[in-house]
Amino acid sequence: MTEAGVMPCFAYRIPKSPVDIKLRYLFLGFNDSHRFYKGEAPGCLGRGDWIIDASLRRLEIGASITF
């Protein structure tokens, strides 16, 4: 599978702390995977190579610590 696109991200630095909380969700771009892969995901718009994917598999939650 080949993918190229944009995934918007929200980052929040906790005040007086070296910790950042990150939330990444949504995919806008090119995806050449099999149409069945795109068709089974609820929230995936577009069945061709260009898609907007808002399914839960695109949700990423993370934290980073800056030393």
Digit-coded pLDDT (tens) for 12-24: 999 999 999 999 9
Digit-coded pLDDT (tens) for 8-62: 999 999 999 999 999 999 999 998 877 656 666 688 887 678 889 888 888 999 9
Q: Which amino acid is at 63?
A: A
DSSP class per residue in the chain:
--EEEE--EEEEEPTTSSEEEEEE--EEEEE-S-HHHHHTSTTEE-SSSEEEE-SGGG-EEEEEE--
Smallest CA-to-CA distance from 2 within 26, 35, 38, 30 is with: 30
